[in-house]
Amino acid sequence: MELDHFYELVPSKDYALHAAAIQRADYSLFDTEAFQKGFAEESKEETKQIHFYLNDMSCYACVWVCEQVTKKIDARCSLSINMATGEASLLLPKGAKPLSEFVKTYESLGYGVTPNRSSRSGKGSELNRIGVAFFCLMNVMMLAFPEYLDSQSLAPSFRQVFRALSAVLAGIAIFYSGWPFLKNAVMSLKQGKVHLDFPIGLALLVGFGYSLMNALQGAAHVYFDSMTAVVALVLSGRFVQTRALEHILREQAKFLEGDAHFVRLETAAGPKMVPLTSVRMFEKISVLPGEIIPLKGRLASLGADISYGLLRGESVSEGVNQGELISAGAMNGSRPLTLEALEDGTQSFLLHLQSASRALYQEKGRFLSLSEKMARFFVVLVLGAAFGVGLWFLPSNPEEGFRRFAAVLLVACPCIFGFGAPLVIARAFQLGLKRGIVFRSQNSLERLSLAKFFYFDKTGTLTQDEGRVKAATWHSENLLGLGLDKTEILPLLRELPLVSRHHVAQGLGSWALDGVPSIGKFPIRNVKEIFGQGLSFEWGTSALRIGRVGFCFGSESPGAANADSYVTIDGKEILRFQLDESLRPEADECLRQLVEGGRKPLVLSGDKKERVRALGQALGISDTHLFSELSPSDKLFSIAHKEQSVMVGNGINDALASSGAAIGIALANASDAMKEASDISFQREGLSPLLTAIALSAEARKVMKRCFALALAFNSIAMSLALTGLVTPVMAAVLMPFSSITVFLSSQRFQLKGIV
């Protein structure tokens, strides 16, 4: 079938062409050995297998197009794509066209290529374990029937055969399928930590041993079916949760993967954007104020101030002189700097940042999650009861003591933790993802609804994205007086985004972009950026300033409107403009709902006091909740009640506060550093996902608590029966699946709730 015909079958005809073509500066990167490490592997017969994600696959036509163009580039190569996950793998036989050709083609069609460096193993054996467990479970249940019916009227030989078969099947389930629990139980014992797998592992071993003993003696009380059911159910619950988490991680990998980092390489023809991984030792790169130093190097420009705040949590900026060393991960302060690389880009810090930031989050998870708290409570309760009753009977009747010890461990069903909580969390993650919310940890999901203090950044978070220049007027008299023409100034403004990420520079740059040719290099010196004020630089013999009244003219001139910004040369106005910083349309409603929910919105901004106050008035936030003129570290220190605080932001200057707050939230327009430092990131524009995320979190807590209450009720009844020695195999067998099913149904109620 031709592609044209394919499109006739689908209602909208722009499926494959919806994504904008992507162009990278340099595709040769993909052919280097160093870059391919981790996602290219040698498979059989001198064929290389390349694993990557193809982004923005929307229907099978996309898959078809990519597979066809692959064949067209080189008929010996083949591409296979998993449409559900976007995972693709390309088979390149020796002597085939280089990888870069393929990547270039895919990206020119609009399908971004992200190397897939995650490991590709484990899933298969997990499924095998589950399959074996369910096979054993079905057969054991069938074989267990005689136990529940009138076991006495059965001929002993029948009973023995049934029990022997059950024992073999349960043994396979416990020691093959249940191996992960046993392993973790031993680990938790070694490390002295309470781990949910410890009581599960212990219960499996004790239950199996006890049942085997009874079966050999011909006594009642064999639990082979319950043991097998626990293994099968808990394994399934974990499998579902792991898959959901993998899905989340994959979504993140798409925007966090290494090659997304580009740097400005200094070349003879001026700065050129290249992937970080292609930078070689002793090459020079330039770093703008507010950017992170991507690799270890020596300062080649005259002087700089940098801060290690993002790395160390302390935020004093230090001066660095020419020739001194700068570590990767530092943040550049107020001046652009040039760095001579002392390591290759492939060894760069930023590439390791992803794994490092994951570790950081694990460290951050010092708060116990709700399910951990419940699990710990449960483990202590069950072990306490089991050992208590065992020790009580030990002096008088050791055999009875062991019997009751085993019975308590057995009837205590850990389904809520092994099965219920993972399902709830996986479900919430999925619902979030559908609504453009990526929870990076279970903790952030569970804790978000508890937070009382919501700190918002101003620019780009509460207000619309980067400032847009409006109402710009040239001061023609002053221009004339300086002997200049605006056609000389415009090219300068156009190049501003190259030297500064300040929103004034970005705004002016895109404003001047129209119809002005690039001058290729940048004839200005000594660019200084002052947080929250503006920037200054030298051009020839003149000093230029861009920013607000106070910054440009030295003092607040009374007549000037506060909203205006200026470009001045030697203190003389040449351009007056306004940065359009309108509020996000949903900001008002969002804050109102936060307040209604008993939460406190606060504003942390680097901007001027008056402007923050004006914003506060528009949003109805009292002055005591507004903090202005803050540096990134001030933002961190302004956050009180850290355990109940949420930092919502988008800029690199929010990153520090975000990692300091209990939960950091990065909006869709956030910088990479902010996304790295956040626990939740939005993929949908604006603030509205925030309310959805809170609702999801509240709902998840509610459902988990309900599951826990149910499980606790069941377990209390079952355990008290077991403690008194009344529990029979029939009761255990009825209670166990009944409680599992209730917990399962309860956890699935989640989807029925109307979450916005």
Partner 1 sequence: MEIIFLLMGISMFMASCGLLAFLWANSNGQFDDLESPAQQVLLDDSQSEL
* Cβ distance to partner 1 smaller for residue 142 or 524: 142
68 lies in the site for partner 1, by CB under 8 A: yes
- CA-based nearest residue to 211, from 387, 385, 409: 409
**Contact of 673 with 690, CB cutoff 8 Å:** no
**Contact of 422 with 240, CB cutoff 8 Å:** yes
The C-alpha atoms of residue 259 and residue 271 are separated, in whole angstroms, by: 19
Whole-angstrom CA distances from 303 to 291, 320, 321, 625 are 16, 6, 5, 38
How is residue 20 annotated by DSSP?
P
Size of the site for partner 1 (CB under 8 A): 32
- CA-based nearest residue to 434, from 442, 424, 444, 426: 426
Residues 19, 165, 484, 717: which binds partner 1 (CB under 8 A)?
A: 165
43 lies in the site for partner 1, by CB under 8 A: no
- CA-based nearest residue to 444, from 367, 359, 354: 367
The C-alpha atoms of residue 443 and residue 25 are separated, in whole angstroms, by: 39
Stretch that binds partner 1, among 79-87, 313-321, 352-360, 483-491 (CB under 8 A): 79-87
Shortest CB 165 distance to partner 1, Å: 7
Shortest CB 127 distance to partner 1, Å: 5
* Cβ distance to partner 1 smaller for residue 107 or 457: 107
The C-alpha atoms of residue 387 and residue 223 are separated, in whole angstroms, by: 20
Shortest CB 81 distance to partner 1, Å: 6
81 lies in the site for partner 1, by CB under 8 A: yes
* Cβ distance to partner 1 smaller for residue 61 or 549: 61
Give me the numbers of helices (H) and strands (E) for the chain, helices first please: 28, 27
91 lies in the site for partner 1, by CB under 8 A: no
**Contact of 662 with 641, CB cutoff 8 Å:** no
- CA-based nearest residue to 497, from 276, 278, 265, 289: 289
Shortest CB 142 distance to partner 1, Å: 7
Residues 13, 18, 37, 72: which binds partner 1 (CB under 8 A)?
A: 72
One-character DSSP codes across 627-689: E-S--HHHHHHH--SGGGEEEEE-SGGGHHHHHHSSEEEE-TT--HHHHHT-SEEESSSSSHH
Stretch that binds partner 1, among 154-162, 350-358, 360-368, 584-592 (CB under 8 A): 154-162
* Cβ distance to partner 1 smaller for residue 136 or 389: 136
640 lies in the site for partner 1, by CB under 8 A: no
Shortest CB 139 distance to partner 1, Å: 6
Shortest CB 56 distance to partner 1, Å: 16
Q: What character string, x for contact with partner 1 (CB under 8 A) and - otherwise, covers 182-221?
A: ----------------------------------------
Stretch that binds partner 1, among 20-28, 68-76, 314-322, 500-508 (CB under 8 A): 68-76
| Angle in degrees, 0-180, between the axes of helices 688-723 and 421-434, rounded to the nearest 10 | 170
**Contact of 653 with 632, CB cutoff 8 Å:** yes
Stretch that binds partner 1, among 78-86, 215-223, 523-531, 700-708 (CB under 8 A): 78-86
Q: What character string, x for contact with partner 1 (CB under 8 A) and - otherwise, covers 101-140?
A: ----------------------xx--xx--xx--x--xx-
Q: What phi and psi, each to the nearest 5 degrees, are found at residue 688? A: -60, -30
The C-alpha atoms of residue 540 and residue 534 are separated, in whole angstroms, by: 20
84 lies in the site for partner 1, by CB under 8 A: yes
13 lies in the site for partner 1, by CB under 8 A: no
Sole residue written with tokens 């700089």: 304
6 lies in the site for partner 1, by CB under 8 A: yes
Shortest CB 161 distance to partner 1, Å: 7
CA angle 77, 78, 82 (to 5 degrees): 155
* Cβ distance to partner 1 smaller for residue 82 or 473: 82
The C-alpha atoms of residue 693 and residue 438 are separated, in whole angstroms, by: 9
Residues 63, 230, 386, 498: which binds partner 1 (CB under 8 A)?
A: 63
Shortest CB 505 distance to partner 1, Å: 43
The C-alpha atoms of residue 16 and residue 67 are separated, in whole angstroms, by: 13
14 lies in the site for partner 1, by CB under 8 A: no
* Cβ distance to partner 1 smaller for residue 143 or 490: 143
513 lies in the site for partner 1, by CB under 8 A: no
161 lies in the site for partner 1, by CB under 8 A: yes
Task: State the distance between the two ends of the chain, measured CA to CA, in whole angstroms.
Answer: 41
Q: What is the token pair recorded at 246?
A: 């993998």
Shortest CB 106 distance to partner 1, Å: 13
725 lies in the site for partner 1, by CB under 8 A: no
176 lies in the site for partner 1, by CB under 8 A: no
The C-alpha atoms of residue 337 and residue 148 are separated, in whole angstroms, by: 79
**Contact of 668 with 436, CB cutoff 8 Å:** yes
Q: What character string, x for contact with partner 1 (CB under 8 A) and - otherwise, covers 733-752?
A: --------------------
* Cβ distance to partner 1 smaller for residue 95 or 124: 124
152 lies in the site for partner 1, by CB under 8 A: no
DSSP E strand boundaries for 552-613: 564-569, 572-580, 600-604
Shortest CB 96 distance to partner 1, Å: 17
* Cβ distance to partner 1 smaller for residue 172 or 492: 172
The C-alpha atoms of residue 137 and residue 99 are separated, in whole angstroms, by: 48
* Cβ distance to partner 1 smaller for residue 54 or 389: 54
268 lies in the site for partner 1, by CB under 8 A: no
* Cβ distance to partner 1 smaller for residue 139 or 442: 139
Residues 19, 22, 73, 142: which binds partner 1 (CB under 8 A)?
A: 142
- CA-based nearest residue to 415, from 33, 664, 738: 738
Amino acid residing at 701: R
Neighbours of 3 (CB within 10 A): 11
Q: CA dihedral defined by 176, 180, 181, 185, rounded to 10 degrees? A: 120
2 lies in the site for partner 1, by CB under 8 A: yes
Report the interface residues with partner 1, using CB under 8 A.
Answer: 1-3, 6, 60, 63-65, 68-69, 71-72, 81-85, 123-124, 127-128, 131-132, 135, 138-139, 142-143, 155, 158, 161, 165
